[in-house]
Homo-oligomer: A and B are copies of this chain.
Amino acid sequence: MSQSTTIEEQDKKTVTLDALYALISSDLKKVDTFIIDRVKTEVPLISDVARHIIASGGKRIRPALTLISAQLCHYEGSRHIPLAATVEFIHTATLLHDDVVDESKLRRGLATANEIFGNKASVLVGDFLLSQAFQIMVSDGSLKALKILSDAAAIISKGEVMQLMTEGQPETTIENYLQVVSAKTAVLFAAACELGATIAGQERYEEPLREFGIYIGIAFQLVDDVLDYIAETSSLGKNIGDDFQEGKITLPVILAYSAGTREEKVFWIRTLAELEQRPDDFDHALTLLHKHSAIEQTIAMAERYCAKARTSLNGFAPSKAKSAMLDIVDFCVQRLY
């Protein structure tokens, strides 16, 4: 969870998430302990799969959002720990099923659970983690928190099916794509943030925090879409070219396809819909993305969502927590440089 990534000197100010993680580090440790305890079962396969995916789980950005939102709302109890864990369980269950559906072999440079343990275990342990999430929520005892998270789970699963239906269709509209991204990714960010206000009993902050989560969630996904084509190394946990190789239709592709010549459209169909890929296709894809400024347009859109995220926090007085949340916004786009 070290944030000491070396980032090249540049014009923009260098933002880290150090301040964020300093504010929540003790809570985040409690979340990790809580998670590890919940996946300790008498069924070794469950613990093995769950530990594998949780250990390879990056920055814990979703539970971090719950923890920092709770701080922002001056929450002083201990319910944020299990609820942040719930958010991570829902996310992890989704990852497990996603990797089965996408037939992914690598995630953040490590073999996926389905590669190591098989699809069967990934499907069933995903179900187990989801059911754990609901058990934790029920123990928490707040119907409001339950509603936020069960609605999120329902929208995520609908978004997953919608994405399955756009598979291999570069003619997907921008609107449709953003709808999928909202449902698949941003809704859980939104729920994670909203929970902070809910448990603090600060009803008036639920909506702005929810909006913050939606906007930052979309921005993160769009930046990820870009990184999958232009990341210099895999140090950020992205393996360059994965989306292309898997035929994923992301915003840069949608933009380049819609602006493309007939010949270019044929290229995208062959490589992404029919998955018939030759050695220099990825380089050609990059050329086409640059030709139509698809990367720049995607970044510009991500920046617009970042601006909206910042605006969502306008109603909050200055605080360390607020600064840390604004850092998340800056960090999101800075990953590109």
Cβ contacts under 8 Å, A150 to chain B: 131, 134-135, 137-138
Return the CB mask of A121-147 against B: 1 if under 8 Å, else 0.
Answer: 101111110111011011001010011
Bound Cα distance from A41 to B161, whole angstroms = 11
Bound Cα distance from A157 to B121, whole angstroms = 11
Cβ contacts under 8 Å, A128 to chain B: 154, 157-158, 160-161
- Please determine whether B124 and A161 come into contact, CB atoms closer than 8 angstroms: yes
With A45-B164, A124-B164, A164-B124: A147-B157 Cβ-Cβ less than 8 Å: no
- Please determine whether B158 and A135 come into contact, CB atoms closer than 8 angstroms: no
**Copies of this polypeptide in the complex:** 2
| A232 contacts the other chain (CB 8 A) | no
Bound Cα distance from A164 to B44, whole angstroms = 12
Cβ contacts under 8 Å, A121 to chain B: 161, 164
Q: Give chain B nearest CB distance to A95 CB in angstroms.
A: 12
Write the chain B residue with the least CB distance to A100. Answer: B123
- Please determine whether B131 and A43 come into contact, CB atoms closer than 8 angstroms: no
| A162 contacts the other chain (CB 8 A) | yes
Bound Cα distance from A119 to B120, whole angstroms = 11
| A151 contacts the other chain (CB 8 A) | yes
User: Is chain A's interface secondary structure helix, strand, loop, or mixed overall?
Assistant: helix
Q: Give chain B nearest CB distance to A281 CB in angstroms.
A: 24
| A1 contacts the other chain (CB 8 A) | no
Cβ contacts under 8 Å, A100 to chain B: 119-120, 123
| A153 contacts the other chain (CB 8 A) | yes
- Please determine whether B97 and A127 come into contact, CB atoms closer than 8 angstroms: yes
Q: Give chain B nearest CB distance to A223 CB in angstroms.
A: 25
Cβ contacts under 8 Å, A127 to chain B: 97, 126, 130, 153, 156-157, 160
Bound Cα distance from A131 to B132, whole angstroms = 13
Cβ contacts under 8 Å, A147 to chain B: 138
72-123 of chain A: CB within 8 A of chain B: 97, 100-101, 119-121, 123
With A43-B162, A128-B161: A143-B154 Cβ-Cβ less than 8 Å: no
Cβ contacts under 8 Å, A125 to chain B: 157, 161
11 additional A-B pairs beyond A100-B120, A127-B130, beta carbons within 8 Å, are A44-B165, A101-B123, A120-B164, A121-B164, A124-B164, A126-B127, A128-B154, A128-B160, A130-B130, A131-B156, A143-B143
